[in-house]
Amino acid sequence: MKQFLIILFYFLPVSFETEAQEIPFRWDELTASDWQKALEKSAQTCILPIGILEKHGPHAPIGSDLIHVREWAARAAKREYAVVFPDYFYGQINEARHQPGTFSLPNRLVLELLDSTCSEIARNGFKKIIIINGHGGNPHLLRYFIQCQLERRRDYVVYFFDPAQDAAFNEKVKAMRKSDPSWDAHAGERETSTLLYLRPDLVKLHTATKESGANLNRLSLPNLYTAIWWYASYPNHYAGEGAKATRELGQLLTEHTVETLVNALKTVKSDTKTLELQNDFFEHVMK
């Protein structure tokens, strides 16, 4: 009898632990046997986190944008389950090719790779793909990509997480700022603050003043847009004052982004109308 109880207690914890385990939200951590559970639990929703590899001033990591989207996705998926695709760093970053660490692909390849990635995500059972972006040079590309979804019929929908301005929240941020927000655009106070909250071990704040993040204003073309505009203003690939960053500001910014993403996930998971309208559109296109 004693031996039987020993054997029973040996196996019980394993059984209870297995029952209590939650399936992972990361695509690469799921097992094939959990795939159907993940599809059901996520309402066939997958997050595609897109960043870039580029210089972030002299003090922040090359993969800062990837760190941001990775953390936003993870924190949101823990609260509102969705499957998170592995970090994706293929975007538009031609303007940083003169700086070390930049990974830039040809423009046609970038679009083709993104389209193929979404198609493969859908082939694996996902009907809803929500792109979250951490790179300031991507929004034009991503909006164009979204519009291209109407080029041909698809059995899935791609959404772009594009949060609106929140006036009340912006006032909170303004009260905590120590630098001029008008040129805080890349590796400055705002972005460095979020990194101090998420990955302080990777930020070398003491080096943030070794290069200038000021706008050089080397080009003036009113009412015109050119590809060289960023280099003309910020050749160091640094815009702002990273040295003025604080962890407290980073926490405020991050938690607001995650909360907004959680709400967006809830909306996407319950959305049935977008694909219905997309299908209706193609019924008319084919007439």
Question: Strands, DSSP E only, in the chain?
Answer: 45-50, 83-84, 128-133, 157-160
Cβ-based burial of 1 (10 A; exposed 0-12, middle 13-18, buried ≥19): exposed
275 lies in some domain: no
Domain CATH code at residue 91 = 3.40.50.10310
Total number of domains in the chain: 1
**What is the pTM for the complete model shown?**
0.91
Q: For residue 44, is pLDDT > 70?
A: yes
Contact 177, 149 (CB under 8 A): no
Q: For residue 12, is pLDDT > 70?
A: no
287 lies in some domain: no
Nearest CA-CA partner of 73 in 260, 278, 248, 280: 260
Contact 162, 138 (CB under 8 A): no
257 lies in some domain: yes
Contact 177, 250 (CB under 8 A): no
Q: For residue 52, is pLDDT > 80?
A: yes
2 lies in some domain: no
Q: For residue 253, is pLDDT > 80?
A: yes
pLDDT tier at 21, thresholds 50, 70, 90: low
CA-CA distance, 216 to 219, in Å (whole number)?
9
CA-CA distance, 130 to 153, in Å (whole number)?
18
- Cβ partners under 8 Å of residue 38, min gap 6: 23, 25, 30, 83
173 lies in some domain: yes
191 lies in some domain: yes
Cα–Cα distances in angstroms (integers) from residue 98 to residues 15, 47, 137, 187, 228, in the given order: 56, 31, 15, 17, 12
Q: What is the largest CA-CA distance in the chain?
A: 89
Q: pLDDT value at position 119? A: 98
Cβ-based burial of 203 (10 A; exposed 0-12, middle 13-18, buried ≥19): buried
Q: For residue 16, is pLDDT > 70?
A: no
pLDDT tier at 19, thresholds 50, 70, 90: very low
Give the three-state DSSP class for 81: coil
83-110 confidence digits (pLDDT tens) = 999 999 999 999 999 999 999 999 999 9
Q: pLDDT value at position 2? A: 52
Q: Which residues of 45-83 are buried (b: 16+ CB within 10 A; e: fewer)?
A: bbbbbbbbbbbbbbbbbbbbbbbbbbbbbebbbeebbbb
Q: pLDDT value at position 165? A: 87
Determine which of 135-139, 162-166, 219-223 has the lowest per-residue pLDDT on average: 162-166
Q: For residue 225, is pLDDT > 70?
A: yes
105 lies in some domain: yes
For residue 180, the enclosing domain spans 31-262
Determine which of 123-127, 148-152, 163-167 has the lowest per-residue pLDDT on average: 163-167
12 lies in some domain: no
Q: pLDDT value at position 230? A: 97
